[in-house]
Amino acid sequence: LRLNEHLAKLQNYQVEGVVGTDPGILRLGHSDELLNSYKTGVPKQLAESSGIQSQEDYSVWLMNVAWAHIKVAESALRGAPAVILGNGGHHAEYESGYGFGPINSLIITSKYMIQNSGIEKIAVLDLDVHYANGTHSLGKYNPSILPTDIYRNKLEKWQYTKNQENILHRQIENSDHYFEALEIILQKITGFNPDFIFYYLGMDVIETDRMGGIKGFDERALDKRDDLVAEFLNLHHYPTAISLGGGYINHAVNDDAVEAQYEAMVERFAMRILKLSPTGRIIRPNSTLSQLTTRT
């Protein structure tokens, strides 16, 4: 909401709300059992497997999130760069949500676009610091999709998918390793020659991030990373849509310090969005939810 407010003030951006039209779209990524739990709220453990509380209109909101991602992809393919103010859900697996991601919109959208938009190949460039267990496990059977990922953190309960022809992830420990891995990943994407790229823009690489953090990764490293990505995308003219990954502030400080961290985080996201897409559209899923209360 804060980022929406910030970007909406910029004249070169238009904000657009999306209402989904077909809940069946979610079956491109998830089991009926999981989707039913989102609809009915039971079993509660499954319905809240992502960490987001089940509530009224929850499944309507999820449908809107998925359709907003599709809208963003279609916009990018038409040459209008776009960003979605919503989470792509890279941790969501076929039978379970994880890590605040109830559905994997990146994969749902990729499959939908390949079936319906006439494009053949989609790459996911995931630069959130956490392992993209959902994207890899859902994407591995589809050679038209190339999930790529640089990560430091992986939880035991997340599925691990080995690297294969159409999966490339690299685990790294420090900032230097990160940039070596980035070069390898970008080369792989060039070789794949995608028709479209989802850039999963994560800020949780920053060393001080509460939930992530890479040794030696400061604001300058973040600038360098997104300069390299912007240069890469411009060089190859890949239509690109940006979906937002993680970025976690520390709440264990006084209110003013929390507020300052929120502002810095919004600025961090906004700066990179502007760098990657100086003009364009901001697309957000319509939501009737009062709040996205989480259990942790």
Phi and psi, residue 86, nearest 5°: -175, 165
Task: Measure the CA–CA gap between 95 and 290, rounded to whole angstroms.
Answer: 26
Q: Least distance to Zn ion from the beta carbon of 87, Å?
A: 10
Site map 198..227 versus Zn ion, x via CB under 5 A: ------x-----------------------
Q: Least distance to Zn ion from the beta carbon of 131, Å?
A: 9
What the block records as the tokens of 136 is 């890899």
Site map 241..280 versus Zn ion, x via CB under 5 A: -----x----------------------------------
Interface with Zn ion (CB under 5 A), residue total 4
Q: Does 88 bind Zn ion (CB under 5 A)?
A: no
Phi and psi, residue 102, nearest 5°: -75, -35
What the block records as the tokens of 185 is 């990943």
Return the number of the residue (246 or 285) whose C-beta is nearest Zn ion. Answer: 246
Task: Measure the CA–CA gap between 41 and 59, rounded to whole angstroms.
Answer: 9
Q: Least distance to Zn ion from the beta carbon of 42, Å?
A: 29
Task: Measure the CA–CA gap between 164 and 294, rounded to whole angstroms.
Answer: 35
- Give which of 176, 123, 168 is closest to 150, Cα–Cα: 168
Return the number of the residue (71 or 268) whose C-beta is nearest Zn ion. Answer: 268
Contact (Cβ atoms closer than 8 angstroms) between residue 207 and residue 214: yes
Task: Measure the CA–CA gap between 98 and 49, rounded to whole angstroms.
Answer: 6
Q: Least distance to Zn ion from the beta carbon of 66, Å?
A: 20
Residues 113-142 binding Zn ion (CB under 5 A) are 128, 130
Q: Taking CB positions, which residue lies at the least distance from Zn ion?
A: 246
Q: Least distance to Zn ion from the beta carbon of 152, Å?
A: 10
Residues that bind Zn ion (CB under 5 A): 128, 130, 204, 246
